[in-house]
Structure 1
Amino acid sequence: MNSRLIRKLHRWLGLVFSVSVLLASGSGVLHNVMTRTQAPPPQAKPSGGGMDVAAIRLSVAEAVGKLGGDKPEVQAVNLRGIGGQPWYQIYTTTSRAPQYVSAVDGRVDPAMDEAYAAEIATKFLAGAAVKKTDFLTAFNTEYINIFRILPVYRFDAGDALDTRVYVSTTTGSVTRHTDRQRQFEATVFTNFHKLGFIPDKDTRDLVLTVVTFGIFLVACLGVALFFATRPKKR
């Protein structure tokens, strides 16, 4: 082995790829800080305004019949309490979004999905007034793929903390709760740990793979250098 060449490679490659090590270690420190400063993720349990089950007058089959047209193939039916009243939330193969039929009088309301989401957000934020600011069908830089559930509504509380929540009417729950400070920490962590400042995912994955392999290579060179420069026995 040429110990001089190995030493030179180890030195310069170590310098180049140490940036990645610094980012990874920095994100590790920040992760520990975030476990102290940020609340755990919201529980994925249904949340709404409750309902009067005694007011239910329609069966599931009758509710589906209210949708009109050809009888759709039903994938799922949930009974939701919205505004204190029972509503059937119906998923069919012909509709991308859930459809809502009143379990009391059979009324179909296309706007009920957003109203249900707003009710979930308000209850989660202890009655605070909320405003819908987005409807996400794809992940973005704030609502990233680790939250898994789409589509979701975004509601802002408009308070001094810039509080916002993301709501899924499919699960009937808040999937993410954040504010200005929490999002700042989360953004720094994403940029350090996952190189989130690179917008294209394929490019980001390639860079992560290259720098990770570079760290592996530097470690191998260090091991080789140890054996190449060890004192020889007399």
Structure 2
Amino acid sequence: MKKFIRKSHRWLGLLFSLTILMSSGSGVIHVIMSRTQAAPPSAKPSEAGLNTAAITISPAQAFPDTQPTAINIRNIAGTPHYQAFLPDQTGFTYIDATTGTENKTADTTYAREIASKFLASDEVEQTDFLTSFNREYIGIFRILPVYRFDLADGKGTRVYVSTITGSVTRHTDDKKQFEADIFSLFHKFMFIPNKDLRDLTISAVTGGAFLISILGIVLFFLTRPRKK
């Protein structure tokens, strides 16, 4: 029994040692990221001040034939707009609160203004519109959909913008993303594209590391020196 446990512990330890190395390495990367990367952007809306005196259309006048589930008032291109969530409709409906007319391009205009103000530059380019999470914009950021805007500053600076919250939900660049990619590959096994297979693999290797620890404890007591 001692020989069997010793061999099992040895070979299983060799098999799962790579996982332990990856986990410990990702821990080091996590500490580095916590010291080199800024805190997540504030969820506070970053739009300009709202001129409430310019609002001449009431919500009832703006939406006479439907009952929105929620309404926000947004300052877009210097004009107050109703941002409405309508039943059974994806996306938002924007109504100019000064004229009562619908603005079909308000969402992208609004997103660009948020990105420009956050980055203090008008030289931003929309490069994506996400309705699902991907390898860079992962589930921990929670909010969808979001726009991605890039800044041509030689650093790969980019922001993800939510018009729901009126704020930037993620701010990163090539250096920060390189650190985040290493952490995701080592700690979350993101090199496996299929989530079910990835979860199964993580469960298997962490279970193996747990088994190695149990065998090590058993082996310690089986091989401890006996008192005469």
Q: Give the TM interval when normalised to the shorter protein.
A: over 0.9
Cα deviation code 1:126-147 (max 9, x no counterpart):
1342111110000011111111
Tell me the residue number matched to 2:136.
142
Matched, 1:12 2:6: no
Q: How far apart, CA to CA, are the structure 1 residues paired with 2:6 and 2:88?
A: 65
- Aligned-pair identity in percent equals 55
- Residue ranges of structure 1 left out of the alignment (5+ in a row): 66-70
5 Å-filtered alignment, 1:122-133, equals 122-133=116-127
Counterpart contact for 1:122–1:128, Cα < 8 Å: yes
Tell me the residue number matched to 1:28.
27
Comparing 127-136 with 184-193, greater Cα deviation is found at 127-136
Tell me the residue number matched to 1:93.
87
Tell me the residue number matched to 1:186.
180
Letter of the structure 2 residue corresponding to residue 8 of structure 1: K
Matched, 1:196 2:190: yes
Q: How far apart, CA to CA, are the structure 1 residues paired with 2:79 and 2:49?
A: 7
Q: How far apart, CA to CA, are the structure 1 residues paired with 2:224 and 2:167?
A: 62
Q: TM-score, structure 1 length as denominator?
A: 0.95
Tell me the residue number matched to 1:73.
67
Tell me the residue number matched to 1:110.
104
Q: TM-score, structure 2 length as denominator?
A: 0.97
Q: The residue matched to 1:131 in structure 2 has which SS?
A: strand
- Alpha-carbon offset, residue 233 of structure 1: 2.7
Tell me the residue number matched to 1:51.
50
Cα deviation code 1:50-79 (max 9, x no counterpart):
3321111011111112xxxxx333110000
Q: How far apart, CA to CA, are the structure 1 residues paired with 2:87 and 2:66?
A: 7
Supply the RMSD in Å over aligned alpha carbons.
1.0
- Residue ranges of structure 2 left out of the alignment (5+ in a row): none
Counterpart contact for 1:17–1:215, Cα < 8 Å: yes
Q: The residue matched to 2:63 in structure 1 has which SS?
A: helix
- Alpha-carbon offset, residue 37 of structure 1: 1.2
Counterpart contact for 1:49–1:83, Cα < 8 Å: no
Tell me the residue number matched to 1:60.
59
Matched, 1:39 2:38: yes
- Alpha-carbon offset, residue 230 of structure 1: 1.4
Q: The residue matched to 1:176 in structure 2 has which SS?
A: strand
Q: What is the total number of aligned residue pairs between the two structures? A: 228
Pick from 208, 211, 217 the counterpart of residue 214 of structure 1: 208
Runs of 4+ in 1 over 4 A off after TM superposition: none
Pick from 219, 223, 226 the counterpart of residue 229 of structure 1: 223
Q: The residue matched to 2:69 in structure 1 has which SS?
A: strand
Cα deviation code 1:56-113 (max 9, x no counterpart):
1011111112xxxxx3331100001112211100001132001100111112011100
Cα deviation code 1:165-214 (max 9, x no counterpart):
00000011100011110111100110011011110100000000000100
Counterpart contact for 1:50–1:82, Cα < 8 Å: no
Q: How far apart, CA to CA, are the structure 1 residues paired with 2:173 and 2:227?
A: 64
Pick from 78, 84, 103 the counterpart of residue 84 of structure 1: 78
Counterpart contact for 1:72–1:94, Cα < 8 Å: no
